[in-house]
Amino acid sequence: MLPDREGQRFAPRLQIGLDVSSMRRLRIPIAQIESHIKTDVSLFQQDELLFLEPFLSRRIFESSEQALFIAFRKSGKCIALLLELDGEAEDNFPVLEAFPQPLLIETTDFLMRSRKKLSGSVQNTCSEASQLMQRTERTINQAKNEGKHLLFLILDLSPLLDALTEISPSLDRFTLAEDLRGGLSLLTTDQGFCAEGKDDYTIMALISKKAHSRSVLVHQINNLLKREWFGGREIPPLKIFSRTWPEDGKQAEELLADFILKRK
Query: What pTM value is reported for the model?
Result: 0.66
- The domain segmentation of the chain, as residue ranges, is 2-98, 122-259
β strands within 116-218, DSSP E? 125-126, 149-156, 193-196, 201-208
98 — pLDDT class (breaks 50, 70, 90): very low
Half-sphere exposure of 252 (CA within 13 A, CB side): 20
- What mean pLDDT value characterizes the chain? 81
pLDDT score of 124 = 53
Q: What 8-state DSSP symbol labels residue 119?
A: T
CATH topology of domain 122-259: Alpha-Beta Plaits (3.30.70)
Whether 222 and 238 have beta carbons less than 8 Å apart is answered as yes
pLDDT tens digit string along 4-36?
777 788 988 777 888 888 888 899 999 898 888
The H or E element spanning position 2 is: strand 2-3
Whether 246 has a pLDDT exceeding 90, the answer reads: yes
Whether 154 has a pLDDT exceeding 80, the answer reads: yes
- Cα 260 from Cα 251, distance rounded (Å): 14
Q: What are phi and psi of 80, to 5 degrees?
A: -160, 155
- Which of 77-81, 162-166, 184-188, 203-207 is most confident? 203-207
Whether 84 and 96 have beta carbons less than 8 Å apart is answered as yes
- Cα 110 from Cα 245, distance rounded (Å): 36
Tell me the CA distances in angstroms from 21 to 59, 60, 146, 176, 196, one per residue in order: 10, 9, 43, 16, 18
127 — pLDDT class (breaks 50, 70, 90): low
126 — pLDDT class (breaks 50, 70, 90): low
More confident residue, 90 or 232: 232
- Which of 19-23, 66-70, 156-160, 206-210 is most confident? 156-160
- Cα 220 from Cα 230, distance rounded (Å): 15
